[in-house]
């Protein structure tokens, strides 16, 4: 299948217009129309509903969309693989949630590169949904995340525990009952636990989906919230943050998930060094 047609399909979907897609791709509108028409002929389905106001996907178009994204990622990965310098013997594609890059993956990546300079690494930060999708599509060799989805053919292995502690910018902060408490959305397991621990807690005045954003906010403007113990350790040692008295800790495990059958020496070495890094990290926090 012609990749120019796939890229054109993606641009039309994202921009909602053949005209804007043509401008983005620096081709004529007739070229965009011809590419989409040829793609539709190859697939035997209409992909777009054309209107004066723009275009929308048909049912077939919506079904084709994730396949188009996969094909583009596969081509990109193939280009990376064949473009590796001759001294590089392998390429590993590693994914993880943002907070886990902060917690362990960034340091592990440095250690692994130093020990295995002949292995190239491609790092991806993503949501649990995107990471699992890319892993299933073969775009990632392994993923580190908090709550991986169990799937046939994939091994889930507990890597470490992470403790979330409630900290505040004042020693006498009362925690979730105060107006400047920041609720960080850390998924349904944390939400359920938080509700059990603080049954009188109502809708927050500030709700964020990224822990780093919440932490920056309270350091700049005051307040309290739950954050990983390691992330706030330096600010606590410096007297910028204080533990909230009587606040319980939330412990959640982090896992690594990888395909069982896709074994390679580079991945085996990477997983072993990741296990070692996690064990060292846990020991440092004791």
- Give Dmax (Cα) for the chain: 69
Q: Is the dihedral of CA 133, 214, 99, 71 positive or negative?
A: positive
pLDDT at 286: 46
| Boundary-marking domain end, from 81, 100, 135 | 81
Kindly state the tokens that stand for 132: 């699992």
High-pLDDT (> 70) share of the chain, %: 95
Give the separation between CA 101 and CA 277, rounded to whole angstroms.
13
> Containing domain of residue 42, as a range?
3-81
Are residues 64 and 117 both part of a single domain?
no
pLDDT tens track for 157-169: 999 998 999 999 9
d(CA 238, CA 259): 43
Pairwise CA distance, residues 269 & 115, whole Å: 10
Among the three residues 53, 81, 109, which one is the final residue of a domain in this structure? 81
What is the total count of domains within the chain? 2
Measured CA to CA, the distance from residue 258 to residue 281 in angstroms comes to 21
Indicate if 71 and 167 belong to the same structural domain: no
pTM above 0.85, yes or no: no
| Cα→Cα distances 181→166, 174, 216, Å | 10, 9, 13
Count other C-beta atoms under 10 Å from residue 141's C-beta: 22
pLDDT at residue number 110: 92
Query: How are beta strands 182-184 and 206-208 bridged, if at all?
Result: parallel
Query: Do 75 and 93 fall within a single domain?
Result: no
CATH code of the domain in which 15 resides: 1.10.10.10
Distances from the Cα of 80 to the Cα of 59, 67, 74, 151, angstroms: 33, 20, 10, 28
CA distance 271 to 119: 13
Q: Please give the residue that has the higher pLDDT: either 283 or 48.
A: 48
- Check residues 77 and 99 and name the one with the higher pLDDT: 99
- Same domain flag for 260 and 194: yes
The two tokens of residue 247 are: 């606040």
Q: What is the pLDDT, as a whole number, of residue 84?
A: 67
Do both 16 and 120 map to the same domain? no
Q: What is the CATH number of the domain that holds 109?
A: 3.40.190.290
Collapsing DSSP states into helix, strand and coil, what is residue 198?
coil
CA-based end-to-end distance of the chain: 55
Question: Strand pairing of 142-145 and 90-96?
Answer: parallel
Domain boundary among 81, 116, 134: 81
Query: What pLDDT does 2 receive?
Result: 85
Residue in 31, 280, 254 with CA at minimum distance from that of residue 147: 254
């Amino acid at each position: 299948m012609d990749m120019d047609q796939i890229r054109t399909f993606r641009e039309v979907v994202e921009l909602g217009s053949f005209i804007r897609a043509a401008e983005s791709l620096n081709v004529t509108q007739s070229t965009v129309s011809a590419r989409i028409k040829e793609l539709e002929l190859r697939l035997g389905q209409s992909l777009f509903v054309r209107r004066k106001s723009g275009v929308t996907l048909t049912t077939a178009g919506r079904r084709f969309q994730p396949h188009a994204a996969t094909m583009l990622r596969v081509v990109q990965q193939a280009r990376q693989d064949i473009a590796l310098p001759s001294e590089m013997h392998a390429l590993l594609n590693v994914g993880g949630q943002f907070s886990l890059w902060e917690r362990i993956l960034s340091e592990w990546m440095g250690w692994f590169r130093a020990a295995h300079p002949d292995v190239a690494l491609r790092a991806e930060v993503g949501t649990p949904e995107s990471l699992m999708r890319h892993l299933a599509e073969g775009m990632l060799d392994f993923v580190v995340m908090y709550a991986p989805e169990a799937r046939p053919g994939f091994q889930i292995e507990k890597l470490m525990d992470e403790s979330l502690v409630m900290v505040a910018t004042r020693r006498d902060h009362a925690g979730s009952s105060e107006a400047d408490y920041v609720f960080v959305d850390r998924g349904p397991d944390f939400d359920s636990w938080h509700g059990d621990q603080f049954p009188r807690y109502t809708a927050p005045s500030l709700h964020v989906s990224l822990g780093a954003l919440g932490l920056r906010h309270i350091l700049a403007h005051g307040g309290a919230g739950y954050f990983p113990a390691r992330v706030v350790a330096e600010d606590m040692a410096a007297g910028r943050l204080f533990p909230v008295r009587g606040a319980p800790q939330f412990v959640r495990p982090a896992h690594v998930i990888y395909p069982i059958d896709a074994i390679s020496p580079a991945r085996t070495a990477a997983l072993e060094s990741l296990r070692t890094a996690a064990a060292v990290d846990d020991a440092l926090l004791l």
